Every structure is written in structure tokens, then in C-alpha cells.
A = this chain, B = another copy of it.
Amino acid sequence: MASQLFREWAGIQQFPAATQTKLLELLGKLKQENVNTLTILVMGKGGVGKSSTVNSIVGERAVAVSAFQSEGPRPVMVSRTRAGFNLHIIDTPGLIEGGYVNFQTLEIIKRFLLEKSIDVLLYVDRLDTYRVDNLDKQIVRAITDSFGKEIWKKALIVLTHAQLSPPDCLEYDVFFARRSEALLKVVRSGAKIKKQDTWGSNIPFALVENSGRCNKNKNEEKIIAGGTAWIPNLVKTIIDVTLNGSKAIKVDKKLVEGPNPNRKWKEFIPLIFAVQYFFIIKPIQRAIKQDIAREARPAWEMRDTGSPLRKY
């Protein structure tokens, strides 16, 4: 796709100067590594802030956000270009519907991604949720089954509503530590990441506060507790994951449709057939014939055929 087709990443300019500088620095770092395009996939439950996060990164209201309505049924790709760098962010519908993973939504997402390469997965959830449960594990498992375990090497966990006042008696840092620990446990469990895979303990987190009342530092940058400007921090974490050496996830036909059951081990069919014939069917036929020959014939059968005294 030629870059004239993408819109200019104008949204960068509405960030405060300090944020713009950091972002352009980070983009420069990518180009140094010969990365000129970045495809980011955003997934998670409904209502957690996926669309809001996309809008925050792009710097404009690129995707519709509604507090009370469900997202649209289809993924939306937002593409922007800047100084020869192409950014693609794919916002997706929430994966959970009414207590179940919505596999139909997952299918729509997979087909949307056909022939695309995912550089980074943003798994989004709220910071201010107090429980993890089996549903979270099921989303992770569904993502893993759809895209392969390797996607988690290219993932970061985004926690929204980061400007939270923690519950009484819990410091913000402690709350964040326990929340992220619980989520990481769920991801490792749902994706079946083994203990010896150290990368599984290193999936990074990024805190995000998308609302307009996010606190700001003296440079007018949006910050979260601790004073970190979260937009550059989020982009930095995305770039770190992009450059961490693991392969991008190519979503090809094979991945989307799963292994074709018709092609698997087709060549073995004649062999298995021969084994069944010679080693199973024939011996059983022989045994049946022997049984028939040996049995005593009842009186009426012999009478009928006119040979009462003949015993076989």
C-alpha cells in the first residue's frame, strides 16, 4: 500500500511538545532498526477502554467510543503515516459476550487480519477491577488458540483507568503489583506458558488513563501516579516489544483456518487400510468360520434338510 493512501498522523501535533519529542525519538529508533511499519492489534473484553486507548495513541477520535453501547461487530483498522513511517492499529470488538467468549467475533477478527502481520498485541483490561476469573483465562486461551502461543512474546498488557484511587489501606503501587500479578498468572495459565519459558514472566505492562481529567505534569503531559507520562511510556513499551527479537505473527490462511483436516496424513490411508484387512478382518473371518463348523446342528435343521443322523 503506497503511503499516499494513508492519512497523515496529524494527531501527533495535538500532543504537548514534550510528548511529541519523545514519540518522534521513538519512531526514529524504529527506523534505525529498519522498521518502517508497525501493526498493532488491540484485544480484550468489552467496555475496558480499547477504543479509547487507540484514540489516545492516534491523538484523535479515530474510533467511535460509547460508554454504554457495545462496540460494532467488526474490527476497525486505523492507519496513519508520518515521515515515511506507517502505523496501523486494529481495534477489535470485545471478546466476551454475556459470560462466554464470542467465537464468532474471533472468527471475524481472524479473517480481518488475513495476510497481515501482527507486530504487537495490546491485551487491554481495567486496572480498577478487583477480581480475575475463569472468563479472563478463557479469553487468553481463545487468543492463544487463534494466533498461536508465540503471540504472547509480542504482547503487552494495557491497564486502563490507571488514575485510580486504590481501595482503602492499599497503596497504589501495591494495588498495581497485585493486579498485574493476578493478570499475568491468568495469561500464563490460559496460554499454557511453561514455567521454564522465562519470557512468560516478562510480559510488560503499561498503565493508561484515557479520560480528559487525567492529571498532567508541568509540561502538560498526561501522567499517571508516580509522574510517568503514560503516552510516551506506552509507545516505548510497544517499541521495546517490537524490537525484542521474536517474530511478528503472520496471519496466513493456514493460521486462520487451522490445519486442514483433509490434508493431514492422507498418504497413510492405504497402509492403514491394508493393516486393517490383513491383521484384523481376515483373522476374525477365520475364527467365525471355525465356530460355525464346530457347533452342533439342532434337530430341526437336520430334519429339514433330510439328514437327521449327519453331524458336522
Cβ of A215 to closest chain B Cβ, rounded Å: 12
Answer yes or no: A98 CB below 8 A from chain B CBs.
Answer: yes
Distance between A303 CB and nearest chain B CB, rounded to angstroms? 9
Chain B residues near A175: list those with CB within 8 A: 67
| Identical copies in the complex | 2
Which A residues between 56 and 100 are near B, CB-CB below 8 angstroms?
65, 67-68, 70, 94, 97-100
B300 & A131 in contact (Cβ 8 Å cutoff)? no
Number of interface residues of A (CB under 8 A): 33
B131 and A70 form a contact (CB under 8 A) = yes
Q: How distant is A93 from chain B, measured CB to nearest CB, in Å?
A: 12
Interface bits A96-137 vs B (CB < 8 Å: 1, else 0): 011110000000000000000000000000001111011100
A64 CB to nearest chain B CB (Å): 12
Contact B129 A211 (CB under 8 A): no
Closest CB in chain B relative to A165 CB, distance in Å? 5
Whether B168 lies near A212 (C-beta < 8 A) is yes
Residues of B within 8 A of A182 (CB): 68
Cβ-neighbour of A133 out of B65, B67, B98, B138 (below 8 A): B98
Residue pair B165, A47 in contact (C-beta under 8 Å): no
A interface, CB within 8 angstroms of B: 46-47, 65, 67-68, 70, 94, 97-100, 128-131, 133-135, 138, 165-168, 170, 175, 178-179, 182, 211-213, 300, 304
Chain A to chain B contacts (Cβ below 8 Å), 17 pairs? A46-B133, A47-B130, A47-B131, A65-B167, A67-B170, A67-B178, A68-B178, A70-B131, A98-B133, A98-B134, A99-B99, A99-B100, A99-B134, A99-B138, A128-B128, A167-B211, A300-B300
18 extra interface residue pairs, beta carbon distance < 8 Å, beyond A67-B170, A68-B130, A167-B211: A47-B130, A65-B167, A67-B175, A67-B178, A68-B131, A68-B182, A94-B131, A97-B133, A98-B133, A98-B134, A99-B99, A99-B100, A99-B135, A128-B128, A165-B211, A168-B211, A168-B212, A300-B304
